[in-house]
Structure 1
Amino acid sequence: MSVKRILTIAGMAVAGLVLLILAFTTWYTVDEGEQAVIITFGKADETITESGLKFKLPWPVQKVEKLSKETFSTTFGYDQDAEGNLISYDKETKMITGDEYIVLADLVVQWKITEPVKYLFNAEDPRELLHDATAASIRSIIGSSPIDDALTDGKAEIEAETRDLLSNLVEKYDIGISIQGIKLQDVELPNEEVRSAFTAVTDARETKSTKINQANKYENQKKNEAQGELDAILSRAQGDRTSRIEQAHGDVAVFDKLYEEYRNNQDITRQRLILETLEQVLPGAKIYIMNDNEGTVKYLPIQPPQQPAPPAAGEGNQEEGGAGDGQ
């Protein structure tokens, strides 16, 4: 085979290889859950966020870096092996609370790539930077929180404060990601003895709170009862006041009427008043009004004299029988 023929075959092979390179490096596909960055001679040129078949200049002029648009989850304090078993990193999760207790806290950070160019070029390892920022944020928030908040009902507030602080740090680092959420997985004391002691303290505190609530309930009940009695007394007093006023008005009306009669006939009215007063002052007594002006005793009984008691049964028959014998 001649040299010329060999050169021709080699040229055709090179041309075919070039065509293959052009064919496979000119067209690319962006999936629905992806975003792409076009890099021209090592410099980010364009960001593609729409899915579909796309065209670019062949390699080595341009190349494509594809990144996911989905939400990522980064764990802090634990990890999973290939078999799905959890691996804890106690040294990483051990931190001190604001009241100087030691706790173990692990969490999950949810984040997304929002600026692909910054994610690719502003940090050598954005995930490692995010992990360090997460450690700094959770330690700062736990370090300013009391242990009760970390172990009981303050977790939601700690999550919110950690998210805000981590978002501010990531924004300062400018690595093209945004924090979607923080979820505390577990916050616990470092050993069983400490956990038992803290549980006992928590139970005592809950018992104290229960007793205080019961005492407040009893106090409110007694206050309500006393208020009810007070209202009843005031109501009765108001009723008595109204009754006394009405009675006084009635007495005034009677007095006015009596006075009018007294003005018309003073002597008769005076005598009648005296008699009525004596009846009220000396009830049930026999009273006689004496007048000795003419030397003759006259009397006026206030009450009718008592009638003699009727004879007992049989007394009349005995008298009649005795009379008959005498005859």
Structure 2
Amino acid sequence: MNRIVTLLVTGFLAFLLLQSTMFVVDQKHYAIVFALGEVREVISEPGIHFKLPPPFQNVLSLDKRILTIDTPDADRFITAEKKNILVDAFVKWRITNPRLYYVSFNGDENRARDRLNQIIKAALNDEITKRTVREVISGERGKVMQAIVSKVVTEANQIGVGIVDVRLKRVEYVEQINNSVYERMKAERTRVANELRSTGSAESEKIRADADRQRTVILAEAFRDAEKIKGEGDAKASEIYAQAFGKNPEFYKFYRSLEAYRATFRNRGDVMVLDSGSEFFKYFRAPGGAAAPAPSKK
């Protein structure tokens, strides 16, 4: 009985000893093996590995995946023209040298993030202070990013970190400058609008003046043509009258007298006081229009 108990205890102790010497490394982590506080081995391949039991050797896991630093608040920087802008950036990074990374931060990821934030802010400040807002936002944004990445990569390599990507998410003015920029934009748009209105008004006056000129020319030409046609008609009528008068002068005189009578006695209320012996009534006195003696006065 005692022997069985001894075997069980021995087996349990052996199991605990075996368990303390075995550890598993997955594909998402590095494993650092320590011996009395010193780094003895860095394991990056996944699988089952063995070590001495504590306290002779211990194991620390480090994440080997791509990590992200995305600050919730934008940082303020001063451009070359002494304007304050807010810049919000994010960084993709990973551990490339586990031994150097552990020596730099003792395996503390928060310390590593703080250090990377400082490196990124310093790089941003160096590049933004040399450029204007326009260059940072659009003109030389590609060059700014290349310079920032170059500086960040160089310093990150010294702490065992590899930089995958650095991007600017947002670049904008601070609130006070935003108001002045909006006012300046508003004034510029107002100036352009007024200029367009002035140009439109000038074009309107030009078109109106041209239309008035064309109207005057058209009316003048129409009046000229009308007078010409009227003159031609009067000339033709005079020619016809002359021909008719030449063929039968007496009939022409009679016809003209009838027209005169019709025009004179158009209204019943018209009153004329004339001498009965007037030439105007000669066709009333004699059918042939011959002169007749005037009536005697008694």
Q: TM-score, normalised by structure 2?
A: 0.54
Tell me which residue corresponds to 1:126: 112
Deviation at 1:126, TM superposition (A): 2.4
**Conserved? CA contact 1:74–1:109, under 8 Å:** yes
Corresponding position of 2:48: 53
Question: Does the C-alpha gap of structure 1 residues 170 and 202 become closer, same or farther in structure 2, counting only changes over 3 Å?
Answer: farther
Partner of 2:152: 166
| Residues in 2 aligned to 1:17 and 1:61: alpha-carbon distance in whole angstroms | 20
Match in the other structure for 1:70: 65
In structure 2, what is the equivalent of residue 155 of structure 1?
Answer: 141
**What residue is the counterpart of 1:137 in the other structure?**
123
Structure 1 CA distance for aligned equivalents of residues 116 and 8 of structure 2: 48
Q: Quick one: which amino acid aligns to residue 102 of structure 1?
A: N
Aligned-residue sequence identity (percent) comes to 23
Take 2:10 and 2:179, find their aligned partners in 1: how far apart are those partners? 77
Over 3 Å counting, the alpha-carbon distance change for 1:63 and 1:202 in structure 2 is farther
Unaligned runs of at least 5 residues, structure 2: 193-298
Correspondence for 1:195: 178
The code of the aligned residue for 1:74 comes to I
Deviation sequence 1:112-135 (CA, Å, 0-9, x none): 101101111123532221121111
The equivalent residue for 2:88 is 106
Aligned counterparts, 1:1-327, within 5 A: 18-76=13-71, 78=72, 88=73, 93-124=75-106, 125-171=111-157, 174-191=158-175, 194-198=177-181
CA apart distance, 1:139 = 1.3
Amino acid at match of 1:161: A
Distance of aligned partners of 1:41 and 1:151 in 2 relative to their CA distance in 1, 3 Å threshold: same
CA distance in 2, matches of 1:141, 1:107: 14
CA 1:62 to 1:103, structure 2 compared with 1: closer, same or farther past 3 Å?
same
Q: What is the root-mean-square deviation of aligned Cα atoms in Å?
A: 3.0
Aligned to 2:231: none
Give CA-to-partner distance per residue, 1:253-298, whole Å, 9 cap, x none.
xxxxxxxxxxxxxxxxxxxxxxxxxxxxxxxxxxxxxxxxxxxxxx
1:179 partner amino acid: I
Q: Secondary structure at the match of 1:144?
A: coil
Count matched residues.
184
Which deviates more from structure 2 when the two are superposed, residues 41-50 or residues 115-124? Answer: 115-124
- Supply the distance in 2 between the matched residues of 1:184 and 1:17 (Cα, whole angstroms): 57
Question: Structure 1 regions of 5+ residues with no counterpart?
Answer: 79-87, 209-327
Q: Distance in 2 between matches of 1:199 and 1:154?
A: 23
Q: Give distance in 2, aligned partners of 1:104 and 1:17.
A: 62
Task: Measure how far apart 1:199 and its partner are.
Answer: 5.4
How many Å separate the matches in 1 of 2:117 and 2:16?
39
Q: Distance in 2 between matches of 1:71 and 1:132?
A: 19
Partners of 2:131 and 2:9 lie apart in 1 by 69
Give 1:159 deviation, angstroms: 1.8
Write the distance in 2 (CA, Å) between the matches of 1:41 and 1:14: 29
Letter aligned with residue 57 of structure 2 = Q
1:201 and 1:13 map into 2 onto residues whose CA distance is 87
Q: Which amino acid in 2 is paired with 1:138?
A: L
Tell me the distance in 2 between the aligned counterparts of 1:145 and 1:17.
69
Instruction: Give the CA deviation at 1:147.
Output: 0.8
Once the two structures are TM-superposed, the CA of residue 96 in structure 1 deviates from its matched residue by 0.4
1:101 counterpart letter in structure 2: K
Structure 1 residues 1-24: Cα deviation after superposition (integer angstroms, max 9, x where no partner): xxxx9xxx8x99986674343132
